[in-house]
């Protein structure tokens, strides 16, 4: 029960993306299903285990970079978490039929995820985009079907699910 409600104060106290330099990770087993590793939530990273939270709080890693790219994407969405999440859900819904062609297709073909997966192994990517990560806009101009045909993932990308 506490885990379920724990996200409310995070939302209420959320700072604008532009005012967040780093995102602390914390465990939330209610909202983070097994198999997922991290979720950017209004300036925090939620993880399914303490071990993953500790790992993300201890220094740079591809997973941390993935989540930080989402922060900079929210900055690019008019510096608004709400606009970022509404767009995220909209893209997810639009790509939902792709789940029939590709496991987790609606998630993996989300423009925000395409950018985050593509650059999470580049430790300099976030620092190079202090004014916001914008590559997702290019993917958003394509239909989900075109994204499926043009941008696929390497095996390494799909080892875990990074929300």
Q: How far is the CB of 98 from Zn ion (least distance, A)?
A: 16
Token digits of residue 70: 């989402």
Number of residues that bind Zn ion (CB under 5 A): 3
CB of 53 to Zn ion, least distance (A): 17
CB nearer to Zn ion: pick between 2 and 136: 136
Q: Which C-beta is closer to Zn ion: that of 13 or that of 112? A: 112
CB of 74 to Zn ion, least distance (A): 12
Tell the burial category of 21 from Cβ atoms under 10 Å away from its Cβ (0-12, 13-18, 19+): exposed
Q: Tell me which residue has its CB nearest to Zn ion.
A: 116
Angle between helices 81-94 and 111-119 (to 10 degrees): 100
Closer Cβ to Zn ion, 2 or 107, answer by number: 107
Touching Zn ion, residues 81-120 (CB under 5 A): 113, 116
Closer Cβ to Zn ion, 113 or 157, answer by number: 113
* CA 69 to each of CA 29, 31, 115, 119: distance values in angstroms, whole numbers, following the listed order: 23, 21, 8, 8
Distance CA 126, CA 34 (A): 27
**CB of 41: closest distance to Zn ion in angstroms?**
12
SS3 assignment, position 46: strand
- Binding residues for Zn ion, rule: CB under 5 A, are 113, 116, 162
């Amino acid at each position: 029960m506490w885990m379920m409600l724990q996200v409310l104060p995070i939302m209420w106290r959320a700072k604008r993306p532009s005012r967040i330099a780093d995102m602390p990770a914390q465990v939330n087993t209610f909202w983070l299903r097994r198999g997922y590793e991290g979720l950017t939530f209004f300036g925090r990273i939620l993880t399914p285990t303490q071990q993953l939270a500790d790992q993300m709080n201890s220094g740079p890693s591809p997973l941390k970079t993935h989540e930080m790219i989402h922060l900079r994407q929210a900055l690019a969405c008019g510096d608004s978490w709400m606009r970022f999440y509404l767009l995220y859900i909209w893209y997810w819904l639009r790509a939902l039929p792709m789940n029939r062609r590709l496991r987790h297709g609606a998630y993996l073909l989300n423009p925000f995820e395409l950018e985050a997966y593509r650059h999470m192994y580049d430790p300099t990517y976030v620092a190079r985009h202090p004014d916001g990560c914008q590559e997702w806009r290019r993917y958003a101009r394509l239909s989900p079907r075109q994204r499926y045909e043009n941008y696929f993932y390497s095996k390494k990308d799909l080892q875990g699910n990074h929300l």
